[in-house]
Amino acid sequence: MRHSLAVFLLLTLAACSVFEPLPEGDPNTKAVSAEELYQEAKSNLNDGEYSTSIKRYERLQARYPYGNFAQQAMLEMAYAYYRQGEPAPAIATADRFIKQFPNNPHVDYAYYLKGLANFEGENSILNSISGQDPSERDSHTLQESFDNFKELVTRYPNSRYTPDSKVRMQYLINTLAKHDLNIAGYYLRRGAYIAAVNRAQDVLTKYPNSPATHDALDVLIQAYDAMGLTQLRDDAQLILTQNGGATVSLLSNQPEKAWWQFWK
């Protein structure tokens, strides 16, 4: 009986060893190099398989946390998140890259990618084509995007991404100015003239070179006139006249040139 039990246990253990996977590091396990993992993830990325590429980049970083492949994997993983339409993890990954590898020769791209993620890249194109005005959105992410591009331009003036960043910054300035102008127009229509004046003055102070300045002056003229402040009204009218006269007001919802037409 004891002999039979011993044979049974031996066969059971042998069966388990057949079906159990070989442990990591076993000499019979095929080792996958960092380069192989990277090439697999890169192939997925190029094919637009962003979710799969992210998983493989994560696997690479877990197995080989040091070296050039791990650094490149983190940067490309941030890009994959961005292309997948997930700005928050894209920004978080880019920030982690900047903190861990500040001397990496491609760190400028991490700053650029943060700006793109806040800018919402392709979504902004679609919104412009469909007629959705970006200036009607919450301005927080637009301001964040501007700050990201500004940091890139300041830190890396000779970066290959600096010229495009400058173009996007100008677009963002115009959009942020129009955002404030839309709010000023709302206050004006509601009869909140002091609030309209304050917001229009913000446009003139913060964005003096944007196309919205003429319309901000127009808001001032209308608000001052409604409050009976004729001298201030006439001063604003004089400034407007000296700078090219009245223009088509943005308050009339005239479409602004889409950024995808502006940026070449």
Q: What is the mean pLDDT of the chain?
A: 79
Q: What pTM, to 2 d.p., does this model score?
A: 0.70
CA distance linking residue 258 with residue 121, whole number of Å? 13
For residue 245, the 8-state DSSP code is -
Summarised one tens digit per residue, pLDDT across range 50-92 is: 999 999 999 999 999 888 899 999 999 999 999 999 999 999 9
- In this prediction, residues 230-242 reach a mean pLDDT of 89
Contacts 24+ apart (CB under 8 A), 223-229: 223/188, 223/193, 223/194, 223/196, 223/197, 224/193, 224/197, 226/191, 226/193, 227/193, 227/194
DSSP E strands: which ranges in 123-228?
Answer: none
